[in-house]
Structure 1
Amino acid sequence: MDELQEFERYLAHLGGGLGHADRQAGLRGYCAGLMSPLARKSVEPMAAHLAPQATRSRHQSLHHFVADSPWSDEEMLLRVAQWVVPAMDFQDGGWWIVDDTGFPKQGIHSVGVARQYCGMLGKQDNCQVAVSVSLACQAGSLPVAWQLYLPKEWADDIPRRDKAGVPATLQFATKGQIALAQIKHLMAQGAPRHCVLADAGYGVETAFREGLSEIGLAYVVGVTGQVTVWPPGHAPLPPAPYSGRGAVPKRQRLGDARHERPLSARDVAFGLEPHEWHSVEWREGTNFTLRSRFARVRVRAAHREHLRTQQRPQEWLLIEWPEGHKEPMKYWLSTLPEDTELQRMVLEAKMRWRIERDYQDLKQDLGLGHYEGRGWRGFHHHASLSIAAYGFLMAQQLRHPEDAGKKNAARGEEPALPTHYKPRGSPAHAAPRAIVHHEFAAAYRRSLAQDAAQMPMLPENEQ
């Protein structure tokens, strides 16, 4: 079976970054387990599925590989990208997509768990949250950076950090700061300079947007209607005249007149004329052509103007206000070039929803949220391996799009996502896509069973 041979080559490529030959078996078994038709893809059920006659020893081996073995998650994700990115077509554009995803948890001991917003539940609850950056093209996307968000109560609790194995050098950082650091690291490694997409959870952070501009990356990021901007005809007052005494005033001022104060994005939308709104079509994946009403205007972001000596550069405020709605539905700020066509800008703004499909596939089909350990290393190892399994399937789908319809031919009857689950920002009619090929996974499991080399109970000579 050519696909099995390709998978073996893929695992050999990934295994080159594990640092120890004994870890190859753990990689093969764990990825095979993640692609199997199991309702729960934690270590114990995967071990029972892979080795029914030797479940205990296989459980110990897989647990050691994911929870304790000191291989590099960064190196794993880099090697996944090296395999997948050559299959991606960037002729129609490329994007960096920033997002986070939550994992509901009970108790207080799992690393990073706290009461915070959980997108899977759509509310504040006890959960872990991870921040990611994905590389996307029109046909597919892949997470290339992944880090658990550590709430401040965790970052400041040294005994709890030590027990969970949180790196001593890790300091508290907001999700926006984590994402910006991930992007800067990718750029330092020579990654392509694509436009950055993010939702309002990141876009409302002035420091996040300014950080992207400082490293020369364009962005289309969601904001709320409360974000303030300087639309045409509005501007802060220049510094006060010098009185002849003390330091020369250099900071801008806010005046009392309406045109001397910024407006909320919502007020800007309500002030636009009917002819400034346009019906625009865009395609959601390959399933639907969608239409809505949009307007855009050149603005300058407004934030702490009294501390600045000059105005910020102009950028686009893009607004979506569907027909029949009482008020606008979404807002974006964008530093795409001034001559960018409206339809193209809408397409780029909407492209962020591709990451929601990734998370849906990773959670529903590849066990991203099924890790039951409590430590920092295990949490990140499990995520890296889920992304590694996903990367192979995504590369196959990109290289052989004609086979995409066959991927679910032999799907098991494992439960789908909870019926109340709706990825943040996804339209209600976003159709699922077939990513996992369970017939292939079953064939690979049989190949593992025929392998004469048994996995050791614990790898020897760990470095």
Structure 2
Amino acid sequence: MVWRSWMTGASIETTLELWASGLRDAKTRMRAVFKQARVAASAGLFLDGLLGDARRKTGWMRAELAGDPGPWRQQALLGRAHWDADALRDVVRDYALEVLSDDDAVLVIDETGFLKQGKGSCGVHRQYTGSAGKITNCQIGVFAAYVSRHGHALIDRALYLPEVWTNDTERMKRASVPEGAEFATKPQLAVEMIKRAIAAQVPFRWVAADSVYGVGTVEKVLRREGIGYVLGVRSDYRFIAQIEHPSLDAVIQEDAADADPTGWIRLSAGDGTKGPRLHDWSYHQLGDVDPEDYDAEWEGQWTRGLLLRRNINDGDIAYFSTWCPKGTTLHTLVAVEGRRWAIEDSFETTKNELGLDHNETRSWHGWYRHVSLVMLAFAMVTTIRHKANTGAEKKLPKLPKALAKSR
């Protein structure tokens, strides 16, 4: 079972008890999603298979663990049975928040690739994925991770459909894509997940993401809502003033070149597998903004800024657009950016241990169902791990308090 390598703060007996009770709890929580008892039973066996020792979480492997003669019940759960994957997503979110909830939490947005053969799997196309580090045949999923000092879990997901898919009505129909589905960029998918989190009253003060999500729509939504952000941007990105404040017009590359080299501060963005993740950092305030400038309801002045991260070894510089209450410290912004590693850890864990990329279905609903069940398994393990390791495991440090509430 995957708990062997994750549970370090409790005895084997205690951990086994937590595991057994946690599995029962997870199955009870998801029971309401399924109208038929037999489908709920199949989902429970599917969850057992994801949490089992088999390195490949294929239908045949899960069927073997369940004692079934073949993978047909497993396949029916993802393909033919009638149940709502979005309802399960909401169960996962609420389940994870019971132990992870924190007002200073960071919602981290990122994507990951699912390597595929052929052209039948929903959304598959030759496109770039960081999972392979190249352009290859794959699906792309955009995810939201909830990251707090208590741990992290995946709480939302969206399958990216390239335009070659949304422009092909017959292909969309074969993959059971819902009628009316239109092309949406990855930032647009991210915005929908952010809005869902806000509507569900998920407590978070910050959003962090890489340069795919660092411009345009995501920024506008967060500024209007009074939510802080640290978003990666390319070196040629130009800040466009939304108000008459000339200092907001700045080219990042020029700003970096003009930065005083003595102004760099060496800080850790958090502990990694090899200890503190040290970089040199520099922060430049580009302008203060009042709520009326955005027709917003948040209070006090906020600051648009530019955060620079320099690699200690090769001097390579990464750039981040920031939005935060006036007076927010460099240490806070660095800590927020450092929380992005948690979604990479989530991808690695769910792929290596829980079969996130072992989905054998080709349909739209098959992808969402498989991924949502894996998210439930991860939330369950996160919850059990938190309970087993409370007081024994070094957790993420609490973020320094911002000088004003973000919303």
Distance change (3 Å), C-alpha of 1:345 and 1:155:
same
Aligned to 1:134: 145
Deviations 1:225-256 (A, max 9, x none): 111137xxxx8998xxxxxxxxxxxxx9xxxx
2:280 matches 1:293: yes
Residue 234 of structure 2 is aligned to residue 224 of structure 1:
yes
User: Which residue identity does 1:351 align to in structure 2?
Assistant: R
Among 328, 347, 356, the alignment partner of 2:344 is: 356
Structure 1 residues 110 and 282: alpha-carbon distance in aligned structure 2, compared to 1, 3 A threshold: closer
Aligned residue number for residue 373 of structure 1? 361
Partner residue in 1 for 2:255: 268
Aligned pairs, number: 366
What's the secondary structure of 1:371's corresponding residue? coil
* CA–CA distance in structure 1, aligned partners of residues 77 and 182 of structure 2: 27
Deviations 1:335-382 (A, max 9, x none): 122211111211111111110000000000000001111111111111
SS at structure 1 position matched to 2:239: strand
Q: CA deviation at 1:208?
A: 1.9
The residue number in structure 2 matching 1:396 is: 384
Match of 2:9 in 1: none
Structure 2 SS opposite 1:28: helix
**Structure 1 residue matching 2:339: 3-state secondary structure:** helix
How many angstroms apart in 1 are the aligned matches of 2:380 and 2:242? 53
Could you say if the C-alpha distance between residues 404 and 43 of structure 1 is closer, same or farther in structure 2, counting changes exceeding 3 Å?
A: farther
Structure 1 residue 134 displacement after superposition: 1.5
**How far does residue 81 in structure 1 lie from its aligned partner after superposition?**
2.3
TM-score, normalised with respect to structure 1: 0.74
Question: What's the secondary structure of 2:201's corresponding residue?
Answer: coil
DSSP 3-state at the match of 1:229: coil
Of the candidates 80, 86, 90, which is equivalent to residue 74 of structure 1?
A: 86
Matches within 5 A, 1:49-60: 49-51=65-67, 54-56=68-70, 59-60=71-72
Q: CA deviation at 1:219?
A: 1.0
Determine the C-alpha separation between the residues in 1 that align with 2:340 and 2:267. 17
Which residue among 33, 39, 57 is the counterpart of 1:41? 57
Q: State the Cα RMSD in Å.
A: 2.7
TM-score under structure 2 length normalisation:
0.83
**Offset of 1:19 from its aligned partner?**
2.5
Deviates more, 1:343-352 or 1:133-142: 133-142
Query: Using the alignment, how far apart are the partners of 1:261 and 1:389 within structure 2?
Result: 45
Separation in 2, partners of 1:190, 1:237: 30
Counterparts of 1:186 and 1:10, CA distance in 2: 21
**Gaps in structure 1 of 5+ consecutive residues:** 239-251, 253-258, 302-312, 406-463
- Partners in 2 of 1:342 and 1:157 — Cα distance? 48
The structure-2 alpha-carbon separation of the partners of 1:106 and 1:273, relative to structure 1 and needing over 3 Å to count, comes to same
Q: Which residue of 1 aligns with 2:77?
A: 65
Greater Rg over alpha carbons, structure: 1
Question: For 1:286-435, what aligned pairs fall within 5 Å after superposition?
Answer: 288-299=275-286, 314-323=303-312, 325-326=314-315, 328-401=316-389
TM-superposed CA distance for 1:73, in Å, is 1.4
Cα pair 1:97 1:352 within 8 Å, conserved: yes
Give the C-alpha shift of residue 262 in structure 1.
4.3
Distance (whole Å) between structure 1 residues aligned to residue 243 and residue 229 of structure 2? 28
Asked if the contact 1:68/1:377 (under 8 Å) is kept, the reply is no
Tell me which amino acid in the other structure corresponds to 1:107: G
| Code of the aligned partner of 1:208 | V
What is the CA distance between 1:403 and its match in structure 2? 10
What are the Cα deviations for residues 405-438 of structure 1, in whole angstroms up to 9, with x where unaligned?
9xxxxxxxxxxxxxxxxxxxxxxxxxxxxxxxxx
| Richer in strand (by share) | 2
C-alpha separation in 1, matches of 2:137 and 2:109? 23
How far off its partner does 1:319 sit?
0.3
In 1, are the aligned partners of 2:209 and 2:231 still within 8 Å (CA)?
Answer: yes
Question: How many Å apart are 1:277 and its aligned residue?
Answer: 1.6
Which residue of 1 is the match for residue 219 of structure 2?
209
Aligned AA (1:367): G
Mapped contact 1:131–1:149 kept (Cα < 8 A): yes
Cα distance between partner residues in 1 of 2:207 and 2:242: 29
Whole-angstrom CA distance in 2 between matches of 1:216 and 1:272: 28
Asked if 1:85 is matched to 2:97, the reply is: yes
CA distance in structure 2 between the partners assigned to 1:19 and 1:236 by the alignment: 50
2:8 aligned residue: none
Deviation of 1:279 after TM superposition, in Å, equals 1.8
Amino acid in structure 2 at the alignment position of 1:30: F
TM-aligned CA distance change 1:209 to 1:21, over 3 Å: same
Alignment of 1:181-260 (within 5 A): 181-203=192-214, 205-229=215-239
Q: Distance in 1 between the 2:125 and 2:308 partners?
A: 34
Q: Give the letter for the 1:269 counterpart.
A: A
1:13-52 to structure 2, matched below 5 A, reads 13-51=29-67
Residues 371-408 of structure 1: per-residue CA shift (max 9 Å, x gap): 11111111111101111111111100111116999xxx
Alignment deviations for residues 8-40 of structure 1 (CA, whole Å, 9 cap, x no partner): 122111112223222221111101111111121
Q: 1:13 to 1:262 in 2, by over 3 A?
A: closer
Q: Is the 8 A contact 1:99 1:355 kept in 2?
A: yes
Partner SS for 2:55: coil
Equivalent position to 1:279, from 266, 271, 293: 266
Three-state SS of the structure 2 residue aligned to 1:135 is strand
The SS at the match of 2:37 is coil
346-355 or 210-219, which deviates more: 210-219
**SS of aligned partner of 2:324:** coil
Query: What is the percentage of aligned positions where both structures have the same residue?
Result: 25
Find the counterpart in structure 1 of residue 187 from structure 2.
176
CA distance in 2, matches of 1:298, 1:206: 19
The amino acid that maps onto 2:230 is V
